Every structure is written in structure tokens, then in C-alpha cells.
Structure 1
Amino acid sequence: MIQENFIKLYEQSFRENWDLPCYTDYGEDESYTYGQVAQEIAKLHLLFKHCSLRRGDKIAIIGKNNARWCIAYMATITYGAIVVPILQDFNPNDVHHIVNHSESVFLFTSDSIWEHLEEERLTGLRAVFSLSDFRCLHQRDGETVNRFLKHLDEELHEAYPKGFRREDVEYTTLSNDKVMLLNYTSGTTGFSKGVMLTGNNLAGNVTFGIRTELLKKGDKVLSFLPLAHAYGCAFDFLTATAVGTHVTLLGKVPSPKILMKAFEEVKPNLIITVPLVIEKIYKNVIQPIINKKTMKWALSIPLLDGQIYGQIRKKLVDALGGRFKEVIIGGAAMNPEVEEFFYRIKFPFTIGYGMTECAPLISYAPWHEFIPTSSGRVLDIMEARIYKENPEAEIGEIQVRGENVMAGYYKNPEATKEVFTEDGWLRTGDLGKLDNNGNLYIRGRSKTMILSSSGQNIFPEEIEARLNNLPFVLESLIIERNKKLVALVYADYEALDSLGLNQPENLKAIMDENLKNLNSIVAGYEKVSQIQLYPTEFEKTPKRSIKRYLYNSIAED
């Protein structure tokens, strides 16, 4: 068990960092000091108390990264309730499912998302609040939320007649073994699993960040990965808030152009990102320089190459704000060419490894200790082993245990039992090897996950399940081609023949319609760019699973 109490970390931080800047919405006037955040939390606690919320009640949050998203999250965990962050890209059906499955009683949401939700389908919700100003968007019959909110300032004054001061920050006492977060790995009904993360899992990640000084008091970070994901949440938000860091929340799609401008303005001390963002910067900033004829010639001369690499490194560091100590890359495999080049020019980057079920961190090494092609060292509070069905095999499944490992999947004992070995190790579903110094080398994902350009996890099986339900689709396979999703479809030719529809023009019209219908029911980042007809049934294992690896070459065509 981690010694530091997760909730008390924040009680201490708000008191100690009272006057320091805490959360700022990028490009907007909304900005809060730690003291102001603590007061907003106090107001929400009064509301929760008025509504007789109990410890362990669930509160869901869905919307873009902004200061009020963070305040709602902090208010929930410091009250002793369980927070349920939901990705804003999930379609309404998935949001309905997660809110209902988690038994959430309150929902904090952006106004635009609320417009597309159906309140009659959210049967357990008592009230819904706006993430733009915390006003009540909906309350169940018999609730008095609106009436209470009208007099909230008076209620605050009554509770704290001398004004809300730093010594008034006092949060619930809740042991680290209690579940504090439900993080849904997917939003699709039938596939979704609510990962139960305890205070200990969260404290494991945050205290590791504190101990290794990833962030310190007065540092700055730019939060652009979705906070509903464990990775960005653990470091850009939870670790940052625990130490007195100033968090600027981007709240926009992190395109290279938007990011570069934001990096220049914020000048972050640490950058947490996914490979695709770095790979785009490499393509846009570095490649045009090194592909020039004169530059290629200069790089072939031993005495010149070091100087030129130094200049390129400086250009890249300056483009990312110039003040960061390192760039931590995680979430998916890094392009080997980019990794090799960054290592050659001594760019301060490192690659870590984790999963939602570990909140998320499993391995990490600071950039100057990072070994190329690895994913860092297994954390000192974690253990890893490689399970091989065949002892002669070079790689096996990475299995882990330790402080960061989840309590299980919410209301899903079957899935929980399946993901743990009989002796208590978590099966990651990833393949790799471990060296004598504890460095992990990941060689492939048995989970087939694809990472979208904005950092979301895409599970092909879920999109395929929906596509297979559409007319004349017998089976399908989702692959990635040029960073876009493509569906390979084996059509139901027998059914088409029986209706006299097996002509190219009819088939194209049917599949165009299927594509349109599919994209209307999946999340924004799961949209498929095209359907490509495949001439034969896909090859399968004895268990009737498609042998996906046979179709990787099609993805590269």
C-alpha cells in the first residue's frame, strides 16, 4: 500500500499553493488559483451535502479539457464519491450506457453534448450540470438543486462566515484501498468494461511523478491529451495538481499548428504526448530540413554532422517552447525511424508503457537513461514477468502486479477473472521481453488496439461488430492505412445473388450507404474512411477468430 493518502495529497496542495495559478483555459479568460479552485470545490461539496450524496456515489464527467472539468473531478474524489470520466467523442448511445452502467447520480457535461443526450434514457440521474458555468441543466422531479444553486453564495457565507480560507480546506478521510475512479476502456455496449481504480492505484502514479520530480511547484504544463484517459489524467492533471503546477488546458483538437502555437505561449516544463503528435512534428519540421541535397551532403561529413544535429535539436526544442526537461511518449508504438533520429540528435525524449488497468504507468525511464527500442524500466512499485507458452519463444505476454494494478472490472466478475492469472498477475495482452535491468521491450499487441491521431484508443472489434450488422456484410476487418481506418468487407454474395443485386454498381451503392450508416453510430475518432471489398472469406483460427496478422500487408498497400 502506498503510504501517502491520495485525497490528503490534494488537501495539502491546495493549502500550500493557495496563491499560485492552478488551472487556465487556453485562449480564454477563465483562470483559477489553487485557492479559487479550493473554494469552487467547497461550493460543490455544499451542493453534494444538500443532495445527501453518499460516499461511493458515482459522478460522471464528459466534455473537452477545461478548468471546470478538473474542478468537478477534484470535488468528486475529495468528497469521497467515485468519478466516472467519459470521453467526449463517444456517441450518445455509449454515453447513455456508461452513465447507466456506472449508476451515476450526477452528470457534469458540456452544453453541446447534453443537447444530443436523451434525459428519459438516463434513468438514474438526479441532476445534470453545465461544464461552462456549473448551472443546472436538468433535475429529476422532486429535486431542489436549482433552488439551492440560487442561494449558493449565501450558503457558502453561512458555512464559512469569515470567508473560505486555506485552513478551511479539509477533505474526507478515505483509505487508499477504496475505489475512487471508474474508467471505461470502451463505450460500446457489450464491450465496455469499467476499470475500478483505487486511491492506491492513483497514488502510485502520482507519488511516482512526485518522487521522480516529473513536475514541481511553479512548473507549467499544457494539457492536450483527453483527461478522460488515464495517461494525460495521471500526469498533466493529477500529479500537476498535487505539486502546485500551473495547468493550461488546450480544449481543442491538438493539430500540429495549434499545438506549436500553444507550446510557444505556455512554454511547458514537461510534455506528455502520444507518438503520432511527435511523428507529425518530425514530418513537418525536421524532414524538410534533412531532405535538402546540401544538408544530406553536410551530414555525410563526420565533423559537420554533430554540429548540424545540434542545430536541428535546438530548432525542435525551441518549437516545443524551449523550457521542457523531457518529452514522455506513450500510448502506442513509436515509428522506429523517428525514434532512431531523435536518439541520434540527443533530443530529450523517453518512451513509457502503461494501460488503463494500471492507472496507467507500468514502465518509464528518464530520457538520459532511456534505451532505444525499449519502453523504459518497470517501476519500482511494480513487477513484470514474461509468460511464454513455449519456453523456447523469444517473446511472451507481459504480465504485471503491484501498487498500480486495478481492483477489477465494475460489475463484470467474468472479465476480471479472465484478465488475472490464478497467481494474481494482470495479463496485459501485450507481447514483449524483459532484460536483466528491468527494461521492457514491446514487440506487438495481442489486443489489436489502434491509437487515433488525438490519442484515443480504437478497438477494431467493436467497429467490426457494428459493421457486421449492416446489410449484406458477412464479415469485416478494420485496418489502419495512412493513419486512417479502412474496412475490409467480405460481402454476403449469396444474399445479393438471391435478390439479383450482385452487380458492381449495386454493391458500391450498398456499401456507400453502409459506410454512411456506420459513421453515424461510431465515435468521431472511430470513423471509417472507406469500405474495400475483399474477394474471399478471411482466414481463421480453430476458434474462428480472424488471423489479423495475415492482412497487415493490405494496410500498407
Structure 2
Amino acid sequence: MYKTMVDVFENSFRLYADRIAFRWRNKDGQFEEMTYREAEEISHALGVGLINLGVKAKSHVGLIADVSHLWTLTDIAIQLIGAVDVPRGTDSTADELAYILNHSGSDVVFVHHAGEIEKIEKGLKKIKKKGKIKIKKFIVMDDEVPKKYARKAIAWSSLIDKGRQIIEKNGKEAKEAQKRRTKVKPEDLSTIIYTSGTTGEPKGVMTMHSNFASQISIVPKIVQFEPDESGLTLLPPWHVFGRITEYLFLSVGASITYTDIKHIGEDLKNIKPTYVPAVPRIWEGVYNKIMQGVRKSGKENIFNFFQKISLAYLAHKNRIENKENLYKKRPIFIDIPLKFVSFIMMLLLLPLKKLGDVLVFKKVLAATGGRMKASISGGGALPEYVDKFFASIGIKILEGYGMTETSPVISVRRPERVVLGTVGPPIPQTEIRLIDLDGNDVTNIVGAKGTLHVRGPQVMKGYYKNPKKTREVLSPDGWMNTGDLVRINIYGEISIVGRSKDTIVLIGGENVEPTPIEEKLKESPYIDHVMCVGQDQKTIGALIVPNEEMLAEFVKKHNIAGESLKDWIQDKQVQALYKSEISRLINLENGFKSFERVTDFRLLTKPFEKGDELNNTLKVKRHVVTEKYKDLIEDMYK
């Protein structure tokens, strides 16, 4: 068991020195590589340079940068000298950055580009409080420092060079850096991650070295990571899911290739990764792109036929292997005959399944590079239709569940046991309990719905400078209230039902979980995003962001007047289309109760965007959307 992240980094540097650690595109679009040995040298020199700047042990250092090897090397350097990084992406607003840096007391700040300096200073000027933080030094990671910032900023590579010079002379800062490594304790902070939650002001999650170290000690064994793994990532490492996946790869000596939306298709084919971590929204995008290609090829009926065959085969196979999401055990006199029927059905379906694999799905799998063992999904719930789609074409998704406050993994599917509709069982050393809406402990009632509470080595220390908020979610004896409504099946696997705070209470007293309704509606090719409303109303309504590309095809086909989305959504045929899609998806046949039906809706002309309606893991900020469209919502219920 690792005790600190210093242990993790030093172990990887020692064992995998000559292996490739990082691969990235340079400004010319060509890939460059870095070994673990080179990564150790750079991170050590950078740490020495920071000490020379006056960064003390346990100091807070801002890290405002995007996904790249520069971020990871900087993160490692900061932790190796016993300091604490405070990360955030460059797409954050000036006010967000100013709040986070001021609240955390980060007076040395890494920025990806010099443009972030102006943004931060602009935000800080708005803060009128006494004792406001004053930034001592900015470190510009792309090395382009304009003359106007020459006194307040230094290039990333210049700081590394300064560190190297000190190391060559065996200066006091070099000795101090080595000394600090030995003094980092498990209870020391590794990072303060400010949540970009769906409600309220960001809270600084204090993550200890022991939190991350426990994950590194446990999770690689569960997901069966090996040193020869090749990871492809576009996840922001300042979000805890992206960060932990990088740590997992590094802990086993695997290589990490950094990609982006523009190049991911090309990189899948050329890099041939074995694992690809991504948030559900990315998997939805991949699904939509594949299906759009299928529709344009005119082979949609063939594709759908073989997908249904594959899903049927998989369902029978899962029944035989006890990989169903069951909340009640079947009596043996029912179970054995059902499994016999499934065995016969598998034999009958097998030829068609194999044919579909060759004729249809082989091309899709080839596009992933052909070496993918599994993909990893986290940062939100994977929609059921997307989950089933990838299972049907033969791509294994290890969906995990967690939160920033739990560093983040609470549970994850096992490679040998992928059960659709679940996020797997809790990882080792994690205790769980379920509390229903009336405050009763329903942990031992199989299938009962309750708010999940967890306790384990991954649970945060608390919220920085916010004991009140800490007490709201973290009990004195270490139980963390996740706020998520879950059910646990007969095999101990968790299914996410919704958020306890997201529950819509209708005027008749019915409790409605909006997430299942929203995820079902997003199965429509004409719906890009949706948010249910209806608190204290008679019925459920929906705000819908249309899929503009698919709607444009519909408009063209039906000769509907207008040149833009704003024109189209007023048309009666378009309104009828969405009403029909809602009725098709939200009904009794699909498992929805009568009071869960969507009785009215409004189509929006502006897409939901990250940093506005969506948080940084692409979840809808319900309070923002509700406030922004309060007039439309009120109009819905007139």
C-alpha cells in the first residue's frame, strides 16, 4: 500500500525509467515522447526552481492549465516538494479564477498561456476584501512571456533551467527538495480541487496524499492495468476523474498519449490504445457520430438489425453467467429453465451475431485501433442506450462512480463482470450505507432506494475554510453523504437512480427523479440536451436543446420555411415532431409512471455550454438553467 503520492511517483520513476511516460503533439503537429527518467529530471528541476521562488512546504500553488504533459509534470513537481496545487482549466471565467486563487491563498500561479494573467488580474480587481491575495509570480507554461509581463512572470522552461543550475551546484534548494520528499505525510494535502458543481459557489475539496495513494493501491488491480498499457486521454486533469486516470497509468509504468476532439479518431487508429477514459458526454458524441454515419450510408436498418441480434445474444449470455442487474433472486425452479432457454437461444443467435461482427461491427472496432481492452467512463452517469450500444458492438465500458470528495472512485465495474445498468460494486476498503428519504437505514434491504453514504480511505479531509459545508456532508465518524440516490442489486452492485437534491416534488406529493427521464429523451436523435422542470407543479415539463444538424435534415425533408433554429422551432411540424418523440420515449411501456410523463416542453435556441449551463464534467447546472429560462418555465405552467 502506498502512503503518499511521493511514494507513487518515486516508485514509477525507479521501476520504469526507460519506458515512455508521455506522448503529445508539438506545435508542428508531430508527436514527441518523454520517458519516465526524463519526467523525473524535469519535475525535480521544476520543484527546485519553485523552492528558489520561495514556495514553502504546504504552500498553495495555482495551476491554471489545460490537458497536457506540462500539467502533469507541474503537478508532480509541486507535490514532490510538499506543496499543494490548486488546479483549474483555462476556460474558467475571470471571476472563478480570482475567487479560487484568493480563497486558497495561492500567490504563485502556473498559467498555460500569458493571456490567463490578464484574466486573473481582472478578476482580482473586483474583489474588495481586505487581505486580498497578491500574486508574487506567474509561470507561463507555453514559454511565451510578453514584455509587459517580464517582471511578474517567468517562462516554464526558464524555471526548469534555474532548477538545473542549482542542482548542478548542489545548492541549498536542491538539498531542500530531497529533504522535503521524506517529510511528506499521508495526512498532508496533495491538492485543493474547487468543485464546479451544479449548485452554488465552488467549494475547495481538500484531498490528502493518503486519499490518492489509497486509490493507486487498489484500483489498478481491479481494472487489471499492466505496464504495457497505452492510455489515450483528452480529459482535463484538473478534474479529479482525468487526474486519477493519469495517476493510474503512471503507477503501472504505462504510457499516456494526449489527444483532443479534433484528433481523437486519427489517434485511436494510429496509437492503438488499450484504455481510453472519457466522460459520458464524449461517449454520447461518439455514438451520435457513428449513427449519423450509418444513416448517411443508407444501412441503418441492417445496422439496427444486427445490433438487436447482438443485444439479445448478450442478454442470454449474461443470464447464464449471472451478470444481470437483479433486485430479487429467482427461485431455482425458475432460474434453471430460463438459463436452459438462454443456452438454446445463444446457439440459435450465434451465427447471426458472428455475421454482424464481420459485416457491421468489425469496421467500428477497427477505428479504435484494434487493441482496446476496455474504455473507462466516469464523471457522470452513462446513458443506458449508449451503454447498450457499445456492449452490442463489442466495446467493454468499465463505468465507475465517484465524486471529487472521494478522490474519486467509490465503485467500478470489473473487466470480468460488466453488468449493464450498474457502476459495479464498491472498491475494497469502502463501506457503504443507504438512507432513504425518511431517514431510515435501508442498506440491508436489497433493491431499496436510498441516498448513498460512504466511508473509506478515499474520503476527503473536508472543504477548505468551510467547516459549515463540511459538516453538512461529512460526519464526525467519517461518513460522506454523496447526495446520490442509488439501489444495490443482489450481487452488491450499485445503480445510480438520481440526485436526492435533484428530486422534483410535484404539487400532489409525487417524487420524480429527472435523470432517467432526461437520459431516455436524449435517445432521440433530435435532442441534444434536456432538463426536466416541475417543482411544485402538477406535471413534469422539459426544456429541450434540439440537435440542430438532425433537425436541419427534418426541416429540409419537409420543406419547412426559415433559415435558422429560431425560425424552425416555431413551426407546427417541428413542434409535433418533438411531441411525438416525447410520447414515444416517455410512456408506461418504457417503465415510466403516469406522473413522470412530460406534458409540455419548450425548445431552446442556445446550446448548453461548458462554463455556462454545463459544469466542467458536462453535467447540467440546474440552478443556472432554471434562472436563465424562468420566464419560459413560468409560461409552460400558465
TM category, shorter = 0.7 to 0.9
Once residues 44 and 369 of structure 1 are traced to their aligned partners in structure 2, the CA distance between those partners, rounded to angstroms, is 43
Report the alpha carbon displacement of residue 64 of structure 1 after superposing the two structures with TM: 1.7
Once residues 98 and 497 of structure 2 are traced to their aligned partners in structure 1, the CA distance between those partners, rounded to angstroms, is 37
- Contact 1:14 / 1:169 at 8 angstroms: preserved in 2? no
- Residue correspondence of structure 1 range 134-533 to structure 2 within 5 A: 152-159=163-170, 171-186=181-196, 191-212=201-222, 214-235=224-245, 237-250=246-259, 252=260, 254=261, 258-285=263-290, 288=294, 292-294=300-302, 302=349, 304-311=351-358, 312-390=360-438, 394-421=448-475, 423-448=477-502, 481-482=545-546, 522=612, 533=631
Report the alpha carbon displacement of residue 424 of structure 1 after superposing the two structures with TM: 3.2
Deviations along 1:380-418, one digit per CA (max 9) or x if unpaired, are: 121111111345894110111101111100000000000
Identify the residue that residue 105 of structure 2 maps to in structure 1.
103
Report the alpha carbon displacement of residue 262 of structure 1 after superposing the two structures with TM: 1.6
Once residues 154 and 484 of structure 2 are traced to their aligned partners in structure 1, the CA distance between those partners, rounded to angstroms, is 47
Code of the aligned partner of 1:245 = A
Code of the aligned partner of 1:314 = K
Change (3 A) 1:42 1:3: closer
Report the alpha carbon displacement of residue 248 of structure 1 after superposing the two structures with TM: 1.3
Code of the aligned partner of 1:307 = K
- Contact 1:94 / 1:187 at 8 angstroms: preserved in 2? no
Aligned to 1:377, the other structure's residue is in SS state: coil
- Contact 2:60 / 2:107 at 8 angstroms: preserved in 1? yes
Code of the aligned partner of 2:420 = P
Q: RMSD in angstroms over aligned alpha carbons?
A: 4.2
Once residues 130 and 326 of structure 1 are traced to their aligned partners in structure 2, the CA distance between those partners, rounded to angstroms, is 36
Report the alpha carbon displacement of residue 419 of structure 1 after superposing the two structures with TM: 0.8
Aligned to 2:17, the other structure's residue is in SS state: coil
Change (3 A) 1:413 1:368: same
- Contact 1:348 / 1:368 at 8 angstroms: preserved in 2? no
Change (3 A) 1:134 1:174: farther
Report the alpha carbon displacement of residue 295 of structure 1 after superposing the two structures with TM: 5.0
Once residues 147 and 394 of structure 1 are traced to their aligned partners in structure 2, the CA distance between those partners, rounded to angstroms, is 58
Q: Unaligned stretches of 5+ in structure 1?
A: 461-476, 485-514, 540-550, 552-557
Identity of aligned residues (%): 24
Once residues 268 and 374 of structure 2 are traced to their aligned partners in structure 1, the CA distance between those partners, rounded to angstroms, is 14
TM-score, normalising length from structure 1?
Answer: 0.75
Report the alpha carbon displacement of residue 97 of structure 1 after superposing the two structures with TM: 0.9
Deviations along 1:173-195, one digit per CA (max 9) or x if unpaired, are: 31211111101102899611000
Aligned to 1:234, the other structure's residue is in SS state: helix
Once residues 520 and 439 of structure 1 are traced to their aligned partners in structure 2, the CA distance between those partners, rounded to angstroms, is 31
Change (3 A) 1:113 1:240: farther
Report the alpha carbon displacement of residue 143 of structure 1 after superposing the two structures with TM: 11
Change (3 A) 1:446 1:388: closer
- Contact 2:62 / 2:108 at 8 angstroms: preserved in 1? yes
Equivalences, count? 480
- Contact 1:94 / 1:189 at 8 angstroms: preserved in 2? no
Code of the aligned partner of 1:271 = V
- Contact 1:79 / 1:171 at 8 angstroms: preserved in 2? yes
Identify the residue that residue 10 of structure 1 maps to in structure 2.
9
- Contact 1:127 / 1:138 at 8 angstroms: preserved in 2? no
Deviations along 1:290-325, one digit per CA (max 9) or x if unpaired, are: 953455567679454311342344333322221121
Once residues 40 and 76 of structure 2 are traced to their aligned partners in structure 1, the CA distance between those partners, rounded to angstroms, is 9
Change (3 A) 1:87 1:149: closer
The question of 1:47 aligning with 2:49 is answered yes
Deviations along 1:424-479, one digit per CA (max 9) or x if unpaired, are: 311111101123432101111235499999xxxx9x9xxxxxxxxxxxxxxxx995
Deviations along 1:229-253, one digit per CA (max 9) or x if unpaired, are: 1011101x11222221111122x3x
Once residues 140 and 71 of structure 1 are traced to their aligned partners in structure 2, the CA distance between those partners, rounded to angstroms, is 24
- Contact 1:62 / 1:85 at 8 angstroms: preserved in 2? yes
Identify the residue that residue 73 of structure 1 maps to in structure 2.
75
- Contact 1:89 / 1:523 at 8 angstroms: preserved in 2? no
Code of the aligned partner of 2:247 = L
Once residues 353 and 153 of structure 2 are traced to their aligned partners in structure 1, the CA distance between those partners, rounded to angstroms, is 72
TM-score, normalising length from structure 2?
Answer: 0.66
Report the alpha carbon displacement of residue 360 of structure 1 after superposing the two structures with TM: 0.7
Once residues 162 and 412 of structure 2 are traced to their aligned partners in structure 1, the CA distance between those partners, rounded to angstroms, is 48
Report the alpha carbon displacement of residue 68 of structure 1 after superposing the two structures with TM: 1.2
- Contact 2:373 / 2:396 at 8 angstroms: preserved in 1? yes
Aligned to 1:432, the other structure's residue is in SS state: strand
- Contact 1:193 / 1:410 at 8 angstroms: preserved in 2? yes
Change (3 A) 1:438 1:297: closer
Deviates more, 1:48-57 or 1:144-153: 144-153
Report the alpha carbon displacement of residue 353 of structure 1 after superposing the two structures with TM: 0.6
Code of the aligned partner of 2:273 = P
Identify the residue that residue 466 of structure 1 maps to in structure 2.
none
Deviations along 1:116-171, one digit per CA (max 9) or x if unpaired, are: 424376533211011113979958789999997775543232129xxx9xxx8993
Once residues 206 and 69 of structure 2 are traced to their aligned partners in structure 1, the CA distance between those partners, rounded to angstroms, is 25
Once residues 188 and 60 of structure 1 are traced to their aligned partners in structure 2, the CA distance between those partners, rounded to angstroms, is 23
Change (3 A) 1:265 1:29: closer
Aligned to 1:216, the other structure's residue is in SS state: coil
Report the alpha carbon displacement of residue 61 of structure 1 after superposing the two structures with TM: 0.9
Task: Say which of 118, 121, 127 aligns to 1:119.
Answer: 121
Report the alpha carbon displacement of residue 55 of structure 1 after superposing the two structures with TM: 1.2
Identify the residue that residue 21 of structure 1 maps to in structure 2.
20
Once residues 249 and 121 of structure 2 are traced to their aligned partners in structure 1, the CA distance between those partners, rounded to angstroms, is 35
